[in-house]
C-alpha cells in the first residue's frame, strides 16, 4: 500500500503542474491577443466610399471608422469638437479631397499632424471645373465663378487611383502590414477594373449617350464612358434650380425624347418629380454613394454593388 501511495503522489503532482502550465499558457495567449488588439492601426475616414476602399485594403489588420453617418451632407459638414478629437486620436486620417470635405483644411490646422498620418485619397487626380448659376433679384440667371467637382470616386478608373493612394499611405504608417495592404489593394483594384469593363461593354454601342440627373455628381463617370450629363441642380444636392432652369430642362427633355430623370435615393425627389410630371417622363435612382447606412452594409451593400445598381439604372437611358 505504501508503495502505491508513493506512486500516486508524484502522478498528482505532475498533473497539477501540467494544469498550472496550461493555465499559464492560456493567460499568456489572452495577454498576447489583447496586445495585438491594442496595437492595431486606428484609421478614421470621412464618408462611405473612402471608408469602403480602406476596409477592403486593411481588412482585419486595422480598426476603421467613418465620421459622417449615412444621410449627412458631406459638402456642408461642420466637425464638432468630438470629431476633431477622434481625428487627433487616430493613427491615420483619410479623406477624399478638400474640394469635397471643405472642412478638412481648417480641421487639420487644429490638430497635431505629426502624430497622425493624413492621406488625401484624390492626390494626383485632375479635377473637373463646373459652372454654377443663381438668380438675381430680377429672376434672371447669372453665372457663378467656376467651382471644382469633387465626385471623383464615381469613376471606377479614378477609384483605383484613390485605392492606390490609400494603400501607399497606410503602408508608410504601418510598415509591418505593408505587404498585406498592397496585396489586398491589388485584389480590390482588380474588382474595380472588372467594374470598369462592365460599364465599357454596356455603353460601347449606345446611340443615346445623354442622361438627365437632379444632382450634377456624375461628370467623371460621364467623361470616362463618353456620356453627357444634363443636370437640373448644381454640384450640391441641396441647390434649388430656378424656374427658368426647370423650363430649359423640360424643353430639352421633350425635344430629345428623354425617358428618365435620375435623382438620389437619400434626398428629396421633389424637384425631379416636378420636372418629370411637366415633361411626362419617369423617375429612376442614380446613387452618388455619399452615404450607405449600416443596415445596408449589413445586408451586403457596398461601393461595387451600388455602382452596379447605377449601371443598370443608366441602361434605361444609355441605349
DSSP 114-165: TSSEEEETTTTPPPEEEEEEEE-TTS-EEEEEEEEE--GGGSHHHHHHHHHH
State the CATH class of domain 205-314.
Answer: alpha beta
Residue ranges covered by each domain of the chain: 41-122+152-189, 205-314
pLDDT tens, position by position, for the chain (319 residues)?
A: 444 444 444 544 444 444 444 445 545 554 445 444 558 999 999 999 999 999 999 999 999 999 998 767 777 788 999 999 999 999 999 999 999 999 999 999 999 999 999 999 999 999 999 866 554 444 445 555 578 999 999 999 999 999 999 999 999 999 999 999 999 999 999 999 999 999 999 999 999 999 999 889 999 999 999 999 998 876 665 566 778 877 888 888 888 889 998 988 766 667 778 888 888 889 999 999 988 888 899 999 999 999 999 999 999 999 9
Contacts with 67 (C-beta within 8 Å, 6 or more apart), sequence order: 44, 45, 46, 47, 79, 83, 86, 87
What is the number of H-type helices and E-type strands within the chain? 11, 10
For the domain made up of 41-122+152-189, give the CATH fold.
Answer: Rossmann fold (3.40.50)
Helix axes 270-279, 243-255, angle to 10 degrees: 50
* Residue 225 DSSP one-character state: T
C-alpha cell at 218: 456624375
**Are domains 41-122+152-189 and 205-314 of this chain identical in fold?**
yes
The sheet with strand 92-95 has its strands ordered as 62-66, 41-45, 92-95, 117-120
Gyration radius from the chain CA atoms: 27
C-alpha cell at 106: 481648417
pTM for this entry = 0.84
Q: Looking at the DSSP assignment, which residues form a beta bridge with residue 148? A: 129
Amino acid at each position: 500500500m505504501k508503495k502505491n501511495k508513493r506512486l500516486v503522489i508524484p502522478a498528482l503532482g505532475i498533473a497539477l503542474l501540467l494544469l498550472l502550465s496550461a493555465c499559464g499558457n492560456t493567460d499568456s495567449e489572452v495577454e498576447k491577443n489583447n496586445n495585438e488588439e491594442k496595437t492595431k492601426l486606428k484609421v478614421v475616414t470621412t464618408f462611405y466610399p473612402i471608408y469602403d476602399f480602406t476596409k477592403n485594403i486593411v481588412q482585419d489588420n486595422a480598426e476603421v471608422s467613418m465620421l459622417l453617418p449615412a444621410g449627412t451632407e458631406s459638402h456642408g459638414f461642420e466637425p464638432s469638437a468630438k470629431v476633431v478629437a477622434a481625428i487627433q486620436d487616430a493613427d491615420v486620417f483619410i479623406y477624399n479631397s478638400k474640394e469635397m470635405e471643405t472642412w478638412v483644411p481648417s480641421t487639420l490646422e487644429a490638430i497635431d499632424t505629426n502624430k497622425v498620418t493624413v492621406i488625401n485619397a484624390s492626390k494626383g487626380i485632375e479635377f473637373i471645373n463646373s459652372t454654377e448659376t443663381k438668380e438675381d433679384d430680377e429672376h434672371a440667371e447669372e453665372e457663378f465663378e467656376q467651382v471644382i467637382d469633387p465626385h471623383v470616386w464615381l469613376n471606377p478608373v479614378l477609384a483605383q487611383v484613390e485605392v492606390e493612394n490609400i494603400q501607399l499611405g497606410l503602408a508608410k504608417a504601418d510598415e509591418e502590414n505593408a505587404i498585406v495592404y498592397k496585396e489586398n489593394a491589388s485584389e480590390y483594384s482588380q474588382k474595380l477594373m472588372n467594374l470598369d469593363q462592365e460599364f465599357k461593354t454596356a455603353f460601347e454601342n449606345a446611340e443615346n449617350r445623354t442622361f438627365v440627373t437632379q444632382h450634377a455628381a456624375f461628370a467623371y463617370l460621364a467623361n470616362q464612358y463618353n456620356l453627357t450629363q444634363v443636370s437640373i441642380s448644381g454640384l450640391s444636392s441641396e441647390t434649388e434650380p430656378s424656374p427658368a432652369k426647370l423650363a430649359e430642362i423640360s424643353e430639352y427633355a421633350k425635344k430629345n425624347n428623354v425617358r428618365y430623370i435620375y435623382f438620389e435615393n437619400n434626398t428629396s425627389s421633389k424637384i425631379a418629380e416636378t420636372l418629370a410630371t411637366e415633361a411626362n417622363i419617369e423617375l429612376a435612382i442614380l446613387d452618388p454613394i455619399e452615404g450607405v447606412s449600416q443596415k445596408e452594409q449589413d445586408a451586403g451593400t457596398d461601393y461595387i454593388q451600388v455602382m452596379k445598381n447605377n449601371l443598370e439604372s443608366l441602361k434605361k437611358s444609355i441605349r
